[in-house]
A and B are shown apart, each in its own frame.
Chain A
Amino acid sequence: MNGILESLNTVFNTFGSNVFVPVMLFIIAMALGTGVKKAFFSAIYAGVGLVGFGFVINAYIPLIVPAVQSMVEVTGIQLEIVDIGWQATSVVAYATQAGMLFLGVGLLFQIVLFLVGWTNVFQPSDLWNNYSYMVWGSLIFVATGNMWLALACMLVLNLYSLLFSEILQKRWATYYGYDNCTVIQLHHVGAVPFAIAANWVFNKLGLSKIQWSPDSIKERLGFIGEPVTLGLILGLLIGFLGNMTSLGTLGAWGNILNIGVATAAVMAVFPRIAGLFAQAFTAITQAARERSVKAGSREIYIGVNDATAYGEPATLISGIILIPIMVVVATIIPGNKVLPLVDLIALPFMVTALVAIMNGNIFKVVVSGTVWFSLGLVVATKFSGLFTQVASQFGVELPSPDALVTSFGILTKPIFGGLIFPAFLNESWLWIIVLLVIYFVAWAWLRNNKEAVHDYLERTADGEAPVEA
């Protein structure tokens, strides 16, 4: 088996990801029986997305990284790690060897887990978001050179996210009104245990009574949620801080305005490229589902894209309120060096598990979100060196060797990134065994108590009614 991995590696290095990813997608699409035409378009869109992404990111990074570095120098705000966003991260992840491996193995793993009844969540309908596992796997591979370890890490993360998703599924489907659908993304369901604990504390404190109305806030703050406006504001802010000592010069203002416009452009253009890339997954996603999901007697939940939750008023508003909060909080958290930037616009996605568990109570979501994402920032800071290495190996060109990048949306994961991933990174077998034991115990427990868990979440979402008067 090691021989196969090695020869794959050689082929990969020779052709590069722009060729290798499309070929892999073509093979998987054909294996799932999509037909040549659809398989071909899947492949070509993946290639186009990868190349297009390279164009954009490599135009933006030489501009933003020096700007952030000069902001750090001038103001002393130690936020030197630039958040390049989930779109960039997804493309980087798919372009790594670990990503390539998981594209096939992960898909198979998820289909089998569903078919044998290990889980009732059908995950391949959200195939695209598998990049969230690939990121962590590629960090392991870059650090240890051990693909087996990287694969093991991705599979364990996958098992845990399915577990969390099974806890959340009913609440999520009820709150958002999508029958038998749930979110399964690693980067969202990681918040489930925290959200349950936080909601328990909030309810004990009687905070369910605080109800903020979404509409008035939306009218006042809605403009922050527009990608180009947010990009412009953030860019101008960074530019201004970086040029504070030379505001008397024309050049400084030219630089400030240019950074503003460029950041607005990135917010508008990244999604278009990611959209091209995502088209590559339509045919495979559909074919995988049609082949595996048969209507039967058991209750199943279909994993859907997190975008289905966006736009729900409480979700959108809590996310938007968190945008300025996280920028300020980032400057004061000890141990954080990440400057949240491109992924700020994704905050209305990142809160979806909190929103469902707290039944759309904006106050609760904002408070718990601030804590949760702050913890996440420390995790992302810790692994930014590794992530930068992965990103630069796969096409992101950095202007200086000490520049660091991350993704605020994807790498800020206290449980997955802070507790599970390091076990594999440190090759700590004891830790890995403990994680597996916890998983199997939790899995078995959930299997027998699922209804009770789901009932508990329904009952406590809006604050538990007093049992006795």
Chain B
Amino acid sequence: MDKNKKKVLKILTVCGSGVVSSSMLQVRVKEILANHGMKDVKIFELTPSMIKSHLEREPADLVVSTTKIYDKLDIPVINGVPVFSGIGEDKFIEELVSTAKQILQDKGE
């Protein structure tokens, strides 16, 4: 039980309003990770200004954002625009999957 709990990936999807893009992004991120065997994913949809206070309440592993994040964060930030533009989408998927795998690996240790 405890071991399982550790392995949940906590991801923040971020867009300007915390509404439309972050919500669409959330669907895609879940789908991509599930396709690569990572199904224990918990996602929160936020605006950029909500990230810091959210992290104080609840730590997360990774940020995927369609806007630029100007705050300095301790967790990796991946640019989610390719999900919408399609430009560099393969690279995005690669980056997301490898980062997520790395995080899970670090957690497992």
Binding site for B on A (CB under 8 A): 87, 125-126, 128, 177-181, 222, 225-226, 271-272, 274-276, 278-279, 281-283, 285-286, 289-290, 293, 302, 304-313, 346, 348-349
Contact = CB atoms under 8 A, between A and B. Distances in A.
B86 interface: yes
A313 B70 contact: yes
Contacts of B20: 128, 274-275, 278, 305, 307
A218 B76 CA distance: 25
Nearest to B69: A311
Nearest to B88: A179
Contacts of B87: 179-181, 302
B17 A311 contact: no
Contacts of A312: 67-68
Interface string B76-98: 00000101111100000000000
Given A289-B86, A305-B21, A181 B45 contact: no
B81 A282 contact: no
Given A282-B24, A311-B68, A311-B69, A87 B19 contact: yes
Contact of B85 (A125, A274, A311, A313): A125
A88 to B, nearest CB: 12
B16 A126 contact: no
A282 B45 CA distance: 15
Given A281-B24, A289-B86, A305 B15 contact: yes
A426 B90 CA distance: 49
A274 B47 CA distance: 14
Interface string B15-55: 11111111110111000000000000000010111000000
A308 B22 contact: no
B16 A311 contact: yes
A274 B19 contact: yes
A344 to B, nearest CB: 13
A279 B23 CA distance: 6
A402 B17 CA distance: 32
Q: What 9 pairs between A and B have smallest CB-CB spacing?
A: A310-B16, A307-B16, A275-B23, A307-B15, A302-B85, A311-B67, A311-B48, A282-B27, A282-B24
Given A276-B23, A349-B16, A125 B84 contact: yes
A286 B31 CA distance: 12
Nearest to A270: B19
Contacts of B70: 311, 313
A275 B19 contact: yes
Contact of A181 (B16, B49, B69, B85): B85
Contacts of B81: 178, 181, 304, 308
A313 B66 CA distance: 15
Given A275-B18, A304-B84, A307-B17, 8 more contacts: A126-B84, A177-B68, A222-B49, A274-B20, A285-B24, A286-B28, A310-B17, A349-B16
A285 B18 CA distance: 18
Contacts of B24: 128, 278-279, 281-282, 285
Nearest to A293: B86
Nearest to A283: B27
Contacts of A178: 81, 85
Contacts of B18: 271, 275
A180 B27 CA distance: 24
A180 B67 contact: no
Contacts of B23: 275-276, 278-279, 282
Contacts of A313: 70
